Structures are given as structure tokens and as C-alpha cells.
Amino acid sequence: MSSSFATDFALLLQPGDLNELQTIVLCNESDTTTNDRENLRLGLELVSLADQGQRQFLIFQSTRNGYAALLPTNAIATSRRFHAFGMIEDLHSWSILLHESEDRIASAIHEDYVEHHGGDAWEILPEYFKESNRHAADHVPVKLRGLGYHDAPLRTLMPRIKKFSDAEKLLMAKMEHERWCSERWLDGWELGPETNRKLKISKDLVSWEELPSGEEKKDFEQIEALPKILHQIGRGIYR
């Protein structure tokens, strides 16, 4: 992939919108260090060419070993916009295979929902609803990356994000609604005038702007609770 390719691609990108997140995936897939380096080089070049806005770059890397060493010294400041994926160490993690981390966050998300709206405890929740909460938990890092944040084990000397700004909450609430709609569409749900779970019909399968009055409150509640939820399981949100 040449410099001319990066230049042409940058011109195709829409101007950045602070209320919308754009994700650019660079996946010259191979298990060689050469291609790992090429993916990263192209990402750095696009950052310098493209209007910034709310953009994140997902960079395919075959292994975690040596990833930081591939970053040029002058790129460290922008490296938080890059997120590596596809690394063999992550693909074979027992935590991922067994949903351990996702279940801890998912159960905490559900408990926060029950606190506001009532419902069954996690232990007796039907598997379908547990899986829906797991999807929400799995999407938390995506939302955080959209703001330039990440979650990690609690660090004594590092200041963590304890609350989001109104603009950040709005952006992530919209992302959560879009994620929820995608989950329902893929599971065969349809839009209807009244919600009927048995028939997989929901009145909320609409754009954010078309949501019935008050329904967006659930998305805001989940987003506002994220710092507390992550703290409960020993994790924090950091820049």
C-alpha cells in the first residue's frame, strides 16, 4: 500500500463530525512483521492526512509482541487513536473464551437496570437476556475508544474518569441505541406500534431522533453508570 493510496483514501473520508464516530479498519492480513508494520505506517499516514473529527483506527497486528516498538517516537502522542486487533495472544485468552470479563460487566449492567426499573436477579435471568447484556458489555470498550478512553485494572497513581460530559454521554447513548437496534434486527425482531417480546416486535427499533419520549433515558442511565460499574469489578476508565 503506497503513500498515494493513503492520500486518495484520505480524500474519500467525510469531514469529521464531533457527534459521530468513524472507524477505519486497516487489515493487510498476514502473520509477518512486515505487514504489521505496513498496517501501522498507513494508519499513521492517514491520521496526518485526514480531518480528525471522532475517528479511531483499528490496526491488524499478528502478535502483541513488539507492537509498541513499531510505533515511531513522534507517534506516541496519537497512538491512543490506534487500537490493535487480531493478535494471537488475545484470540487464545481463556478469559475471552469463557466470557468471564464480559459476564462480570454484563451482570453489573443488569443490576443497575434492575435498580432503576425492577426485574429478575442475574442468577435467574433467562439466558436470552443474559446474552443481550453480554453484547452490551462487549461493546463498552468500543464506546470508550470513540472518546479516546480505555478501561484497565485500577491504578493507584493514575487519575481515572469518574463521570462523562454531557456531549460524551449523548454520543455514547446514541452508540448504545444503534448497537441495541442492530442486535434486535439480527435476531429477527421487527418494528411495530407496541412492543411484544414473544413475537419479537418492538416500538423502539427506530433512529435515535424517532425514539418515543422518555425511552432514551435507559441509554443515558447505562452510560452514566459505566464508571461505577467498572469500578465495582476493579477496573477504571483512563485516557
SS3 of the chain: CCHHHHHHHHHHCCCCCCCCEEEEEECCCCCCHHHHHHHHHHHHHHHHHCCCCEEEEEEECCCCCCHHHHCCHHHHHHHHHEEEECCHHHHCCHHHHCCHHHHHHHHHHHHHHHHHHCCCCHHHCCHHHHHHHHHHHHHHHHHHHHCCCEEEECCCCCCCCCCCCHHHHHHHHHHHHHHHHHHHHHCCCEECCCCECCCCEECCCCCHHHCCCCCCHHHHHHHHHHHHHHHHCCEEEEC
Judge if 205 and 155 occupy the same domain.
Answer: yes
Are 61 and 45 in the same domain? yes
Per-residue pLDDT for 65 more than 70?
no
pLDDT tens across 161-210, in order?
999 999 999 999 999 999 999 999 999 999 999 999 999 999 999 999 99
Q: Which residues pair with 55 in a beta bridge?
A: 22
Q: Indicate left, alpha or beta for 200 from its phi (over 0: left) and psi (-120 to 50: alpha).
A: left
Q: Which three cell numbers stand for residue 93?
A: 485468552
Same domain, 50 and 127: no
Q: Do 104 and 216 have their domain in common?
A: yes
Question: The domain spanning residue 147 has which CATH number?
Answer: 1.10.490
In terms of domains, do 98 and 194 share one?
Answer: yes
- The pTM for the full model equals 0.64
Instruction: Convert the pLDDT of each residue in 110-151 to its tens digit.
Output: 999 999 999 999 989 998 899 999 999 999 999 999 999 999
> Is residue 81 over pLDDT 70?
no
Residues 46 and 104 in one domain: no
* Domain of 174, in residue numbers: 94-238
**Boundary residue ending a domain (55, 90, 125):** 90
Of 42, 59, 90, at which residue does a domain stop? 90
Nearest-angstrom CA–CA distance, 110 and 125: 10
pLDDT digits (tens, 9 = 90+) for 7-34: 555 555 555 555 566 777 777 655 565 6
176 closest CA partner among 215, 214, 222: 222
pLDDT band at residue 37, thresholds of 50, 70 and 90?
A: confident
CB atoms near residue 106 (< 10 Å) = 25
Single out the residue in 35, 58, 90 at which a domain terminates: 90
